[in-house]
Amino acid sequence: MDDLIADFVHYLDAERGLAQTTQDSYARDLARFQAWLKDEHMTALPERREPLADFFAHEAGELAPASMAREQSAMRKFYRFMLRQGVISANPMELIDAPKPARHLPTTLSATEIDRLLSAPNIAKPLGLRDRAIFELMYATGMRVSEVVNLQMRQLHLPLHLIQVIGKGDKERLVPISVQATAWVERYIADGRTQLVHGRDPETVFVNFHGHRLTRQGIWKNLKSYINAVGIEKDVTPHTLRHSFATQLLENGADLRVVQEILGHADISTTQIYTHLSNEHVAEVYHKTHPRG
């Protein structure tokens, strides 16, 4: 096995051009396989599915899901290489199902934390008023940060409490906006944006100090600053406001299809992750309120 692993790593370097860190990781994964073969008193590479299934069952109790996925990737490449080299006559890794990627539940903010964040910007200043309007908008609509920075004045239909959002793949959707968020966007346009555009009339709704389009990085940096200022210790990104919006809609009884449409998800399975968060909330409320919870 030592020679086979060495040949494989050389192949990864010379022909595949994989990074050294990836080569080292694959070598360690195969060393674990080699050690398991030794413990099982196997002297040749298994060519049947069952021994490999046993190995991965053993590894599932030892490794994190991400490490398991990488280990299987290493084994798949290793076995394909061994088959091409004529070391084995069959590739049992083709019969091993790929591990399902772990799906991490997204971070969300509670209603109280949202209130703390929204009250953080200094609305007496144009930039603070802009930031308040941005956060109100994102929390009220679930818009992606890319959709916010690219938002144009012609897409605002504030008297109707609607925004024409252009999402991924240039797909358009009409998104409702709350009365409160509408008022903040209107206030920013009237009192903040006019001071920032310096007499010009750009199409972009949200601009920086120089009157140019605000960037995604700019919103992310500002959000981090406010989060730290109000003492919220969660790992918050602009997407957290989108997650919080969707979760709280579902917790308050919104239909999953409606939430999918508002968020602009092409596949409802993407939206369904928020039902897990909502179910967690239901369980939490149950255990807190039931006398024998």
Residues with a catalytic annotation lie at 144, 168, 239, 242, 265, 274
- Between strands 172-176 and 156-157, the pairing is unpaired
Rounded Cα distance, 123 and 63, in Å: 49
Residue of 229, 206, 263, 254 whose CA lies nearest to 113? 229
3-state secondary structure 35-104: HHHHHCCCCCCCCCHHHHHHHHHHHHCCCCHHHHHHHHHHHHHHHHHHHHCCCCCCCHHHHCCCCCCCCC
Rounded Cα distance, 242 and 184, in Å: 18
Residue 116: phi and psi, rounded to 5, are -65, -40
Rounded Cα distance, 102 and 88, in Å: 32
